[in-house]
Structure 1
Amino acid sequence: MMNRRRFLGIGGGCIVIAGVTSYALSDRRNLVRNDLRPDPIPRLLLKKDERTILYLASLAPSGHNTQPWFIKRLQPYHWIVCNDQTKWLTAVDPTQRETMLSIGAFLQNLEYAANNLGYACQFELKAKTNRDEEVMEVRLVNADLQAKYDTDHIKQRRTMRSGILPVELKQEDVNDLINKDIDFVHFIPPKTAAYRHLNEQTLEANKVQSYRDAAQKELANWIRFSSKDAEKYRDGLTPGSMEIEGFTGWVVRNFYGKPNVMKNGFRDQNIEQVEKQVATSGGWFVITSKNQSVTSLLETGQRMQRLFLKVRKKGIAIHPMTQILEEPSIHQGLNSAIGINEPVQFILRTGYLKNYPGAVSLRRPVDWLIRS
């Protein structure tokens, strides 16, 4: 997101000088998921298993961490997973394609979490378009399951932007990660023409998007600079999730706001950081779908999440970089350039990590997800 070493230069030396003493007397670390206090008295009389399953489902990834879902609870263990229009990213996702992919990831987490507690999921599709509010009806039924999914994989999943090593993924790791999704998940190794195209066009798309005011304003609206706002909203991008730590993180939390995002210095630093990111990776994963239908997008979101939940145990990072797909002028010619015919839905930078930190992105409490 930003070049942390140069970040202080935007604010000017006066912030640094004035801040040294204050830093010693105030919060020195980012607000992260484990810091969130649980609601002392839950508002809703949810069953314990319902609360656990829905929380784990909510740990799915989404663009700018908008968490574009809510739940209509019809009866205990009988819900409708819904599309939250207030969380749409209209500047970068005008068709709500990414919204459906995110809800697909939510559904995959939900199924795994239900499985862990001994429930099978009965799904019934409700949505006909990406903009329909009611997406999927879900009933949970007790089941005698032979194997239960380890939900620690869901809790520990994390997007990593930095620290990815320029070492090509081992073929055995690629095979294990793709497994049965070989028709839809494609690995693009380094030193290939497709790899170079993705590097170059990801950078170009970020240049376009960073200077497209509507997209930049939308980004600004989802950055929770202060710990106060982060705890209030429990969504969006925080300094912690953007990997801005230490004194720089403190400056961001206390001195930055939406107007800074619209300044050229902020935009240029984002582009500079992307240039460094695409220069170091072990390859790209590209995930395709059969078509652009709601069913296909939801299935593709589930497919991406299954991949994402496998990588940590191998010390492999995934960094979604979707800008090529969000900028029509850059998107044209993508398929022919990388040799793939089917619709591309995810472009994921990947590679090995030396150290894999814990999850930090915030989540709204389960009670906030429930609507009548």
Structure 2
Amino acid sequence: MPTNRGFCPSRKLGIWWFFPFFFSVYLSLFIIAGRNIKIVKPLFINILYTIAGEPMPDMTALLHHAVMAPSGHNTQPWKFRIKENTIFIYPEISRRLPVVDPLERELYISLGCALENLVIAAEHEGYRALVGYSFEDGAISVNLELAEGKANNDWLFNAIPIKQSTRRQYDGRPIPGADMERLASLPLEQGVSVLFVTEPEKIEGIIELVKEGNSIQMNDRDFMQELISWIRFNEAEANRYRDGLSSKAMGNPSSPRFIGKLFMKFFLNAKGQSKKDEKHIRSSSVLMVLLSENDDINSWINTGRSFERLALCATALGIKNAHINQPCEVPELKKTLQKLLSAGNMHPQLLLRLGYAESLPRSLRRPVSEVII
């Protein structure tokens, strides 16, 4: 006598029962979510992962860490798209800086910083991040696969929300040798290297290049207009836009916008800025330069990833950093910097100072919901 094994859809209908089943699930979610596709899609993908027996990565949480990355003028020039278990990062061209960054070099360095934060966060949560570039549409793809275990990178992951560019005078304390060795031995992305500058003659040369850079940039009307457009002079502006350079983060008092603009017009000049920059450089423990073998989009992204890794490591060690990028932004000064550093054919991409100081208020970031497409 044959035994009754019950009804099995797959036996009677083959695999075809899956299609109406999943369609009905998707349609139900679509109705429940008020026809909001941005809500439905991650929920449906999460169901698929559950059926497959694999946990779905919390994409929003990962992107929360990605958007904490630094960017030129805190423009946050990125957009993200989630497709199943892949996150795509796109440049947001409307947030580019055409005057100070006409080649979009610093824009792609910023994307590299966001990418590095995303990879660190994913590995911390137990996923393997496979990175790919598609420069036809400018996209960076990060495919997430379940790893055997969580990465041992707490020291980098925990530094993401507290790292900042600290634009103030440092206290001049030397960095212990063991900490310098840890920074110097940190693995960087392909084609990128780091140089720590301590020689007095080279520091003097860099100070002169920074001064010359200030003279060129701050006497350029378009440069100043672009800079002012990204300054948030008071807390209300900072909270409204959640981007740009806030007065508090730069160590300046808040003021109404019209007063701040008048102050910059009549009192901010290359001579005064150079005096301030020189004081800041001389108070620093060491200068740091990131260089790349090539000068293209791939190299800029890798520079961003490498810088962010170094900055997070420095933060974990209690070391502050701040950019002094004028010599890297003005083409003729970049060549002079290259010779000063005896860098050969390596391209200086970022110039920073390291040291110790009290933290300043942190720059705000746009919420993840505003950067997902």
Q: Tell me the TM-score normalized by structure 2.
A: 0.79
Structure 1's 118 and 307: CA in aligned 2 closer, same or farther, altered over 3 A? same
User: Does the CA contact (< 8 Å) of 2:251 and 2:360 recur in 1?
Assistant: no
Partner of 2:62: 53
Partner of 1:163: 169
Question: C-alpha separation between the residues in 1 aligned to 2:73 and 2:372?
Answer: 21
**Structure 1 position 204, deviation (Å):** 2.0
**Structure 1 position 89, deviation (Å):** 0.8
**Structure 1 position 63, deviation (Å):** 0.8
CA-to-aligned-CA distance 1:319-346 (integer Å, 9 cap, x gap): 1111111122422321111211211111
1:1-372 equivalences under 5 Å are 44-45=38-39, 49-73=58-82, 75-127=83-135, 133-150=137-154, 151-181=157-187, 184-191=193-200, 193-244=201-252, 249-250=253-254, 252-253=255-256, 256-261=259-264, 263-268=265-270, 269-341=272-344, 342-353=346-357, 355=358, 357=359, 360-371=362-373
Structure 1's 160 and 190: CA in aligned 2 closer, same or farther, altered over 3 A? farther
**Structure 1 position 92, deviation (Å):** 0.7
Partner of 2:13: none
User: Does the CA contact (< 8 Å) of 1:118 and 1:145 recur in 2?
Assistant: yes
- Percent of counterpart pairs with the same letter? 28
Runs of 5+ consecutive residues of structure 2 not aligned to the other structure: 1-35, 44-56
User: Matched residue pairs, number?
Assistant: 316
Runs of 5+ consecutive residues of structure 1 not aligned to the other structure: 1-41
Partner of 1:6: none
Question: C-alpha separation between the residues in 2 aligned to 1:240 and 1:172?
Answer: 33
Structure 2 letter corresponding to 1:318: N
Q: Counterpart of 1:228 in 2: which secondary structure? A: helix
**Structure 1 position 68, deviation (Å):** 0.8
Q: Which has the larger radius of gyration?
A: 2
CA-to-aligned-CA distance 1:75-107 (integer Å, 9 cap, x gap): 233222001101111111100111111111110
Question: C-alpha separation between the residues in 2 aligned to 1:163 and 1:59?
Answer: 24
User: Does the CA contact (< 8 Å) of 2:288 and 2:354 recur in 1?
Assistant: yes
- RMSD of aligned C-alpha atoms? 2.2
Structure 1's 225 and 154: CA in aligned 2 closer, same or farther, altered over 3 A? same
User: Does the CA contact (< 8 Å) of 1:103 and 1:298 recur in 2?
Assistant: yes
After TM superposition, the structure 1 stretch with the greater mean CA deviation from structure 2, 275-284 or 50-59, is: 275-284
Question: C-alpha separation between the residues in 1 aligned to 2:121 and 2:315?
Answer: 18
Question: C-alpha separation between the residues in 2 aligned to 1:301 and 1:213?
Answer: 29
